[in-house]
Amino acid sequence: MDLRLSSAGNTGASAAGGSRGPAAWLLHVAALVRYRFFLYAGLLPYLLGAAWADAVVNTFAPGMFWAGLGGILLAVVGVEAFNEYFDSRMGTDRVFDPEDTPPMSRAVLWLGIAAFAGALAVGVTLTLQAGWPILIYAVLGGLAAVFYVAPPIRWAYRGLGETVIALSYGPLMVLGSLYLHVPSLDPAIIGPAFLASLVPGLLIMALAVTNAIPDFHQDRLVGKRNLVVRLGRDRAVWLYNGLAALALLVALAGVLGGVFPTPCLLALLAVPLVGVSLVRGRATWKTPRAFVPAARAIVRAYLVAVLGFTLGLVVQPWLAA
């Protein structure tokens, strides 16, 4: 299931061919991207970086924020289009499909190329305004996104996909968002923000591992050597819950150490959800349909933890006033 963070299967293949008008294409693109992916992976870490700039560094640039958000949306469209297209060509998510599904249209590939080109254009524009580090963030994020399943690198097939996801939607996203408002490489600013970025980074990595558990057999058959295939589903349940627990420990340790504001303890509201996911995951990892509640619990844990952490940053100035 890769970066799509959804228990649903491939949604774009059956609709990829045939003639369609502009309205139908817009609906198809919306279905391809899936708003959940944008909300989970793209939007929340980006908001965390902006909230850190506003609450901790007391700086916020509205114009840069909206421009960066547009670039993130374009990048998400590119990620989804490339994942759908190359998974279709590789046969991923279709190994056990009883229907003879036709290959996905190359129009989906061109949609991804156009979206990535637009995201790069936004990155270059922001670089001209804020400085060269923005381009570094954009290029590193682009290499992670473009080659997640695309040849010749295919991170997801080399056992590096989950790590690439963690870096992309943790440190790169949060620090890139922060730099839009605070164009500085001062370790005193970057260091604490990097620690904060581990909260969404570790949780999104946990989500990536969780989503691969139901796809274990088909991923193994198509040669996708992700962590679940390498470790086995039983160990993977402990791994994703351990990653989620570590993210919450980072939040707790940061508050206790005075690195994060005290209201960031709101992230710990996700602790019961991680516990639920562990219990249900241990009991159901062999049966994909029965495993769905465990996967949903870890998704909710991500939402609650990252939203809670970000909300803690937002309310801190008011509480300190």
Give the list of residues 6+ apart from residue 252 with CB closer than 8 angstroms, or none. Answer: 265, 268
Q: How far is CA 45 from CA 19, 164, 268, in A?
A: 37, 15, 17
Burial of 264 (0-12, 13-18, 19+ CB in 10 A): buried
| Domain spans, the chain | 21-320
- Does pLDDT of 35 surpass 90? no
- How is the chain split among helix, strand and coil, in percent rounded to 5? 75, 0, 25
What percent of the chain has pLDDT above 90? Answer: 57
Gap between the Cα atoms of 107 and 145, Å rounded = 18
pLDDT of residue 147: 86
- Does pLDDT of 304 surpass 90? yes
146: left (phi over 0), alpha (psi -120 to 50) or beta: alpha
Gap between the Cα atoms of 140 and 219, Å rounded = 26
Q: Distance of alpha carbon 184 from its chain centroid, rounded?
A: 25
Record the tokens describing residue 139, joined without a space: 């290029």
Nearest to 45 by CA among 244, 209, 194, 185: 194
- Does pLDDT of 2 surpass 50? no
pLDDT of residue 240: 97
123 by DSSP, 3-state: which? helix
> pLDDT tens digits, residue range 89-138?
765 555 445 555 566 678 888 888 999 899 999 999 999 999 999 989 88
Gap between the Cα atoms of 122 and 134, Å rounded = 10
Give the list of residues 6+ apart from residue 110 with CB closer than 8 angstroms, or none. Answer: none
Record the tokens describing residue 160, joined without a space: 């590096």
> pLDDT tens digits, residue range 10-28?
334 334 444 455 566 555 5
Record the tokens describing residue 317, joined without a space: 């100035």
User: Are the beta carbons of 213 and 287 closer than 8 angstroms?
Assistant: no
- Widest Cα–Cα separation across the chain: 63
> pLDDT tens digits, residue range 132-177?
999 898 889 888 888 887 888 888 888 888 999 999 999 999 999 9
- Does pLDDT of 278 surpass 90? yes
pTM (predicted TM-score): 0.85
As a whole number, the mean pLDDT across the chain is 85
Nearest to 63 by CA among 193, 185, 189, 181: 181
57 by DSSP, 3-state: which? coil
Q: Bigger pLDDT: 101 or 207?
A: 207
Q: Bigger pLDDT: 275 or 152?
A: 275
Record the tokens describing residue 64, joined without a space: 């840069």
**Looking at residues 275-286, what average pLDDT do you find?**
96
pLDDT of residue 303: 93
**Looking at residues 213-227, what average pLDDT do you find?**
89
Confidence of residue 88 (pLDDT cuts 50, 70, 90): confident
Fold classification of 21-320 (topology level): Farnesyl Diphosphate Synthase (1.10.600)
